[in-house]
């Protein structure tokens, strides 16, 4: 696919490294005039002492690094740099690309950038380099979006899943689904009436058709399930530590993030704001949130804190519900469970944690089962550091039902891709229902065609310009 046109041939430039201090920073050019523009501002070290009239015409060898300076319009050095030229189509964008590696400070990079703009380049839009790579056919849309996931990946596993997307794993799965649909459509074309009039002939052909369509549905379901694991790897499992004041929530938070971040005191109501940290438990990335203790009464500040707590709990994937094991289950504990977990109409996983067992155990497993039935329960002491390994095990098991996410199997789907996959799923379901109801085959094929179209949109084969704008707009400038 190639929908490139001349509008994309102007030369864009951007700082491609993240903002802030760094060892090096890269200014990247792409487009027909990338080389011409970049050469207007670069001089090799060996030529630095020469007068402008004596400079030799310089044709850089592709993919070779040249040492020299970027000079401003008065001929003063802006920075000492390395210069490289990658002619299209063997470059990131498939266009002529020049990269200038400068020192990482914000000022030299900005000065190089503004000089490039003066010399005729245009500031790149967010994601425009990647968009050009896509428009020039070097990446399909899934691969382009994987680059976005790659930039955002928070753990090694997420990184690997994103790399998989980049290598085309998802695209090839989607292509397989499309091929399945095409073969179903072909079957409808060839065997048009499925012999509906003759019930005796409701034979192999039909059974085969039904089997194929169910097979297709289950493949889509599997993809969506793998999506859930991918989402966790990408965004972190939103895990909220909840409980009444003073049970040890902040102590657990500090233990899990391995840092004394939250204030811990014996005074109930110590924590009032939400504290958030990304951590990694046995390979499972968690977005861990410490909350203000919940109880029915409370002063103004506490009430606001509790409102935040409640909202966090409602959005959680996993709740760590903490109790003080050295006291009996209190009315407050029951109130939290009933009001927020049960009536809140939320459905996160929940682990019950009995803390402070060093002070004695006044809550039995039977008590817990009576009041909060059906949740894994653990006894720990943060003071003595006991039971904590088990807690980490339980978390990772709950997430992946005992299996760590296989690196190859988690899928990172952008929201757009997931939505299209779900739409395709609905269409295939409709087709199946139509088949069951013996609706004429040409109507079934309309549903299947529609499903095929949605799948095509996932990999960008049927896609409109505004969707493209939206996708690439999420990138940062310079990508």
Ligand X SMILES: Nc1nc2c(ncn2[C@@H]2O[C@H](COP(=O)(O)OP(=O)(O)OP(=O)(O)O)[C@@H](O)[C@H]2O)c(=O)[nH]1
Given 32, 111, 114, 270, the residue binding ligand X (CB under 6 A): 270
Span 439-458, contacts to Mg ion by CB under 5 A: none
Q: Does 246 bind Mg ion (CB under 5 A)?
A: no
Q: Does 247 bind ligand X (CB under 6 A)?
A: yes
Position with the least CB separation from ligand X: 293
Q: How far is the CB of 328 from ligand X (least distance, A)?
A: 16
Contact 316, 243 (CB under 8 A): no
Q: Does 162 bind ligand X (CB under 6 A)?
A: no
Residue that has been written with the tokens 């007068």 in this structure: 51
Q: Does 30 bind ligand X (CB under 6 A)?
A: no
Q: Does 309 bind ligand X (CB under 6 A)?
A: no
Q: Does 355 bind ligand X (CB under 6 A)?
A: yes
Given 104, 126, 168, 269, the residue binding ligand X (CB under 6 A): 269
Given 60, 127, 236, 245, the residue binding ligand X (CB under 6 A): 245
Residue count at the site for ligand X (CB under 6 A)?
Answer: 23
Q: Does 293 bind ligand X (CB under 6 A)?
A: yes
A 10 A CB-CB count for 436 gives 10
Q: How far is the CB of 396 from ligand X (least distance, A)?
A: 22
Q: Which residue number, 271 or 394, has a Cβ lying nearer to Mg ion? A: 271
Phi-psi region of 259 (alpha: psi -120 to 50; beta: other; left: phi over 0): beta
Q: How far is the CB of 388 from ligand X (least distance, A)?
A: 10
Q: Does 264 bind ligand X (CB under 6 A)?
A: yes
Q: Does 358 bind ligand X (CB under 6 A)?
A: yes
Q: Does 291 bind Mg ion (CB under 5 A)?
A: no
Q: Which does residue 356 touch among Mg ion, ligand X, none (CB within 5 to 8 A, set by kind)? A: ligand X
Q: Which stretch binds ligand X (CB under 6 A): 40-48, 60-68, 379-387, 403-411?
A: 379-387
Q: Does 271 bind ligand X (CB under 6 A)?
A: yes
Given 11, 101, 130, 250, the residue binding ligand X (CB under 6 A): 250
Q: Does 271 bind Mg ion (CB under 5 A)?
A: yes
Q: Which of 127, 170, 173, 216 is nearest to 414 (CA)?
A: 170
Q: Does 164 bind Mg ion (CB under 5 A)?
A: no
d(CA 290, CA 274): 6
Q: Which does residue 234 touch among ligand X, Mg ion, none (CB within 5 to 8 A, set by kind)? A: none
Residue count at the site for Mg ion (CB under 5 A)?
Answer: 4
Q: Does 259 bind ligand X (CB under 6 A)?
A: no
Q: Which residues sit opposite 99 in a β-bridge?
A: 28, 84
Q: How far is the CB of 306 from ligand X (least distance, A)?
A: 10
Q: How far is the CB of 477 from Mg ion (least distance, A)?
A: 40
Span 381-440, contacts to Mg ion by CB under 5 A: none
Q: How far is the CB of 361 from ligand X (least distance, A)?
A: 12
Q: Which residue number, 47 or 358, has a Cβ lying nearer to ligand X? A: 358
Q: Does 251 bind ligand X (CB under 6 A)?
A: yes
Q: Does 385 bind ligand X (CB under 6 A)?
A: no
How do beta strands 97-103 and 237-243 pair? unpaired
Positions touching Mg ion (CB under 5 A) are 249-250, 270-271
Positions touching ligand X (CB under 6 A) are 243, 245-251, 264-266, 268-271, 293, 355-356, 358-359, 381-383
């Amino acid at each position: 696919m190639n929908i490139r046109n001349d509008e994309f041939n102007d030369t864009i430039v951007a700082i491609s490294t993240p903002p802030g201090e760094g060892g090096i920073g890269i200014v990247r050019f792409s487009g027909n005039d990338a080389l011409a523009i970049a050469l207007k501002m670069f001089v090799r070290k060996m030529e630095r002492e020469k007068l402008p009239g004596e400079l030799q015409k310089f044709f850089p060898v592709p993919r070779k690094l040249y040492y020299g300076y970027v000079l401003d319009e008065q001929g003063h050095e802006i920075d000492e740099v390395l210069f490289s030229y990658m002619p299209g189509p063997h470059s990131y964008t498939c266009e002529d690309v020049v990269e200038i590696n400068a020192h990482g400070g914000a000022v030299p990079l900005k000065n190089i950038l503004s000089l490039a703009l003066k010399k005729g380049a245009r500031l790149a839009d967010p994601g425009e380099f990647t968009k050009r790579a896509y428009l020039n056919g070097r990446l399909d849309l899934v691969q382009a979006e994987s680059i976005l996931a790659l930039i955002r990946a928070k753990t090694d596993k997420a990184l690997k899943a994103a790399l998989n997307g980049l290598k085309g794993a998802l695209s090839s799965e989607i292509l397989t689904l499309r091929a399945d649909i095409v073969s179903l459509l072909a079957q409808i074309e060839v065997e048009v009436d499925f012999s509906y009039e003759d019930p005796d002939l409701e034979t192999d052909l039909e059974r085969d058709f039904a089997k194929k369509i169910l097979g297709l549905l289950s493949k889509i379901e599997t993809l969506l399930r793998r999506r859930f694991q991918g989402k966790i790897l990408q965004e972190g499992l939103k895990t909220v530590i909840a409980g009444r004041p003073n049970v040890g929530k902040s102590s657990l938070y500090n233990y899990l993030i391995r840092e004394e971040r939250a204030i811990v005191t014996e005074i109930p109501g110590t924590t009032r704001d939400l504290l958030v940290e990304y951590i990694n438990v046995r390979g499972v990335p968690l977005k861990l949130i410490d909350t203000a203790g919940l109880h029915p009464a409370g002063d103004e500040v506490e009430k606001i804190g509790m409102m935040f707590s409640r909202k966090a709990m409602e959005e959680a994937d996993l709740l760590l519900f903490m109790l003080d094991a050295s006291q009996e289950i209190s009315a407050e504990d029951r109130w939290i469970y009933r009001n927020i977990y049960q009536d809140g109409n939320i459905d996160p996983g929940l682990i019950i944690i009995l803390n402070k067992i060093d002070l004695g155990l006044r809550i039995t497993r039977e008590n817990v089962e009576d009041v909060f039935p059906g949740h894994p329960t653990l006894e720990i002491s943060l003071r003595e550091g006991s039971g904590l390994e088990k807690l980490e095990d339980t978390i990772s098991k709950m997430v992946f039902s005992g299996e760590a996410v296989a690196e190859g199997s988690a899928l990172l789907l952008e929201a757009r891709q997931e939505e299209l996959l779900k739409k395709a799923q609905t269409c295939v379901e409709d087709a199946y229902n139509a088949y069951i109801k013996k609706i004429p085959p040409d109507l079934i094929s309309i549903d299947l065609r529609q499903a095929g179209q949605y799948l095509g949109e996932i990999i960008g084969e049927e896609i409109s310009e505004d969707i493209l704008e939206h996708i690439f707009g999420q990138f940062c400038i310079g990508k």
